[in-house]
Structure 1
């Protein structure tokens, strides 16, 4: 799973890396401990152009009765995403890139949990495969997102039994292309190479200070 991540890159660096066109209404605030229900930055594609967007983390499907479902849908299993009612329409046409500086995972050891911070070894942003949706509540429209997960690679298997789907730059166009077929997309939903990542044990104090825990 992926239940916490950070994004602290400068906006200019994100724009250069993801090659998106800026929007005046896009607001970006770096966050070292982003958790479900908070606003997450993402990149979407409209008519062949990439734009930044801000989504509430925790996908709320259009048929939801209330927004509480988002606390259960901040991740989507890649093995079933094409069939699950909450995700299948978004998988067909509302895919996005979700950038991160790092993500956090907790390794169980008896009754204790040791947090790890996972980053790319080359220092580039991590790019999660994401989906987004729009949900209407009276006159309000809430746009939300989810991060796809898959089986762990060798590095992550020692920490947790799931990991986020991490996309490489050469697959961004394919993931964002609304015309891409399901079979080709499924081939992208696999664990990245262990050599791509580093995992460092960190203190849990940073999460206690913000009231966050796992």
Structure 2
């Protein structure tokens, strides 16, 4: 699973890396501990051009009776994402890129505690998660746009910590993932364990304490 991540890159650096078209009403707020229900930055495709957006983390499907379902749908399993009712419509036409500086996982120690780890790219570039987004209106007709991060089996490095990891896309895969006419077979092929180099570091749990 992926339940915590950070995004600390400056807006101009993200714009250069993802080659998106700037919006006057968009800005990025650095955060070292993004969690489900938070607003997270993403990149979407509109008529073949990339634009930044903000989504609430925890996808609310069109048929939802209330927004609480988002607390259970902040991740989508790659193995079932194209078929599961909560995600299959978004998988067909509402895919997005979710940038991150790092993500976190916890491993149980022999003493019974949980040791947090921070995972980054060795290259220092942003991580890019494969995401889906949806639009939903509540009873007051307020529009809520939400998203989920797709997870897959861990690669050899991550398997030492956890049995899942987020799907991490490389720059040469961005257009294929965002393409509205993407072939399902090809899209599923992209949802594979990451083959690049990851930097995995033990960190203090103090980072996750509320202040």
Residue 209 of structure 1 deviates from its aligned partner by: 3.6
Displacement, 1:82?
0.4
Q: CA deviation at 1:26?
A: 1.8
Q: What do you get for the CA RMSD once the two structures are aligned?
A: 0.8
Q: CA separation in 2, counterparts of 1:196 and 1:47?
A: 33
Contact 1:7 1:30 in 2 (8 A): yes
Partner of 1:128: 129
Residue 208 of structure 1 corresponds to which residue in structure 2? 209
Q: Is the 8 A contact 1:27 1:54 kept in 2?
A: no
The counterpart of 1:140, out of the listed 139, 142, 150, is 142
Normalised by the length of structure 2, the TM-score is 0.97
The answer as to 2:45 corresponding to 1:45 is yes
Tell me if the contact between 2:11 and 2:27 (Cα under 8 Å) persists in the aligned partners: no
State how many pairs are aligned. Answer: 209
Give 5+ residue unaligned stretches, structure 1.
Answer: none
| Runs of 4+ that moved beyond 6 A | none
CA distance in 2, matches of 1:29, 1:89: 30
Q: Quote the Cα distance in structure 1 between the aligned partners of 2:102 and 2:90.
A: 25
User: Could you list the runs of 5+ residues in structure 2 that have no partner in the other structure?
Assistant: none
Q: Given the alignment of the two structures, is residue 58 of structure 1 paired with residue 58 of structure 2, yes or no?
A: yes
Kindly provide the CA deviation profile for residues 143-175 of structure 1, in whole angstroms up to 9, marking residues without a partner as x: 000000000001100100000000000000000
- Cα distance in 1 for residues equivalent to 2:210 and 2:90: 35
Tell me if structure 1 keeps the 8 A contact 2:105–2:162. Answer: yes
What per-residue deviation string (whole Å, max 9, x for no partner) do you get for residues 22-73 of structure 1?
1112232111100000000000000011000000000000110011000000
Match of 2:117 in 1: 116
> Does residue 164 in structure 1 map to residue 166 in structure 2?
yes
